[in-house]
Chain A
Amino acid sequence: MGLKQNLHNFKEKNKDKKWLPLFNAFHTFLYAPNEVSHNGTHIKGADDLKRTMNTVIMALIPCLIFGMYNTGYQHYLAIGEINSVSAGFFSPEFWTLANFWVGFAKTLPLILVSYGVGLGIEFIFAIKNGHEVEEGYLVTGMLVPLIVPIDIPLWMLAVAVIFGVVLGKEVFGGTGMNILNPALLIRAFLFFAYPTWMSGDKVWVTGAVERTKEIAEGSTADVISGETILGSLAQGQEVAYSAWDMFYGFIPGSVGETSTLLILLGALFLIFSKIGSWRIMLSSVLGALVMGLIFNFAADSGWISESSKFYSLMNTEFWQHLLLGGFAFGAIYMATDPVTASQTNKGKWIYGFLIGFISILIRVFNPAYPEGVMLAILLMNVFAPTIDHYVVQGNVKRRLKRLKTKTA
């Protein structure tokens, strides 16, 4: 008798125990379950929700690995122990084991806290309410470490995860019922609660806060600048990175969102596995480009003076907006969340376009929020049901009209 049969027998024997959902959750994570789910967010062929979630996690793994290397790279670059990349994406300065270990040691606690706290809450609610553990947190738990600054204190992350999962999801009835994307809600909570840890020039490179303190106390360490590109642009400073650096992702930023190249790879994977909606991805990119072009046009035709604080962000090449900040990550992995996005095809186009459009609008015009994609997606999450409603009503009206002309 194999392990699989043993586990199954174990499950049969303990059918009535209160903690069984907890066992089931791990059991079905390892093995395809005999039961398929009957309702929820995924209604689709043979896949159950857990497989869907696993596919997204697979699409996220390259970003995670890259984030680990990048953490170490930014760290050693800041303290002057290595030179900046010289030979494109496969530069030997970047892909060193030393870089990886620094990033690994820094990222692992984030992942553990994110999953530990989040799944803990899911288990408590599942046992209390007597239903099976829902898989919704699997992806959220992986997204959260990727969208926070590397040095975020772990207890803050834990508080934010509790807030996001309980008030963002469980109060609405759990997985599939939430209005807002839980991962973004967690990030938004951190952003408003602890702004000093979520923005500025100290949090994006590991150890920067401590080094600043040492310098203040008279250490001879070099002064470091770990400002993100969007942060520098918002302050009208020169940017020292080439567009290729931005595309490859050798820039400071949240853990997993810097490499546009790998995000693109993940996007292709999601599109081909039919998990992510290409309509939302494409339309949000279009929305961002349109807004970027409008701003470029405004800057070129001299509607805004060069001394204006918005000038340097407005004058950023429209296509560069796609490479900067968390836009690409948000548009590919967050906007496409099937629970909170629009459901109708036409609605998806509108929803995505407005996300791109508003992201760049916030990015340029609001100096307090150097990155707008988080707020743009949360805003559109709220409007997604309204968009769907009008798309459906429009369709109904059109068909009624057709019926009338036929009978008349």
Chain B
Amino acid sequence: MGLLSKKDLKLITDPLADNNPVTIQVLGICSALAITAELEASIVMSVAVLFVLGIGNVVISLMRNIIPSKIRIIVQLIVVATLVIIVDLVLKAYAYQLSKTLSVFVGLIITNCIIMGRFEAFALANGPWKSFLDGIGNAFGYGLLLIIVGFFRELLGSGTLLGFEVLGNPIDKTGVYAFRYENNGFMLLAPMALITVGIIIWIQRSRNTALIED
């Protein structure tokens, strides 16, 4: 047996597909809409949530026996807020431009339902190692979706990926732009993020019909 037992591994792999926090539980949608117009922002957001959820789950799990249940939400908020402030300050120090793009949405990780959801549903009832795996598993699931959506929105909306002009230059008419291709401005607007998430949900559920609930 390796580092992870089968049960532990399931904690990480389940949220990637069959129990994805975004497409199945439909949590964390607001940030998925707001910051996915660029791939880079999606990746940074995913890493930030990975950090907050991974460590937050462990901290809450360690404290789970001493938190009075009446004030547990406040305790959880303080833990998330502390972690989010760390992320925010690190971003401002090392990636100022990016932190401007993400603007308020880094701070809003505090209210990301995925995080509070995992604290409530998992970390309060399980040990730190399991909670850690559950935390990074859900963060990976969230990040995976963010990156897929960000990939398509940036590619089709701006014709770039991570800022590189992969489709050619629209002004000099190189690459595909020479064939009268044009960027789809609709992809950069928030409704298209919702529709992209919807299409992913559609594909996922038509491939695995067990996920369809009536």
Contact = CB atoms under 8 A, between A and B. Distances in A.
Instruction: Give the most central of A192, A193, A194: most B CB within 10 Å.
Output: A193
B202 A194 contact: no
Interface string B181-198: 110111101000001001
B214 to A, nearest CB: 14
Contact of A167 (B180, B185, B187, B195): B195
A194 B185 contact: yes
Contacts of A196: 182
A197 B184 CA distance: 11
Grouping DSSP codes into helix (H, G, I), strand (E, B) and loop, the B interface class, with mixed when no group exceeds half, is helix
Given A153-B180, A155-B180, A156-B182, A171 B202 contact: yes
B185 A193 contact: yes
Contacts of B189: 192
B58 to A, nearest CB: 41
Interface string B171-214: 00000000011101111010000010011001000000000000
Interface string A181-206: 00000000100111111000000000
A194 B186 CA distance: 8
A195 B180 contact: no
Contact of B186 (A171, A193, A197): A193
Interface string B127-153: 000000000000000000000000000
Nearest to A193: B186
A194 B181 CA distance: 11
A331 to B, nearest CB: 25
A192 B180 contact: no
A194 B195 contact: no
Contacts of A159: 184
Interface in B141-172: none
Contacts of A189: 186
Nearest to B191: A192
Interface in A131-181: 153, 155-156, 159, 167, 171
Instruction: Give the most central of B182, B189, B195: most A CB within 10 Å.
Output: B182
Contacts of B180: 153, 155
24 contacts: A153-B180, A153-B182, A155-B180, A155-B181, A156-B182, A159-B184, A167-B195, A167-B198, A167-B199, A171-B202, A189-B186, A192-B185, A192-B186, A192-B189, A193-B184, A193-B185, A193-B186, A193-B187, A194-B182, A194-B184, A194-B185, A195-B185, A196-B182, A197-B182
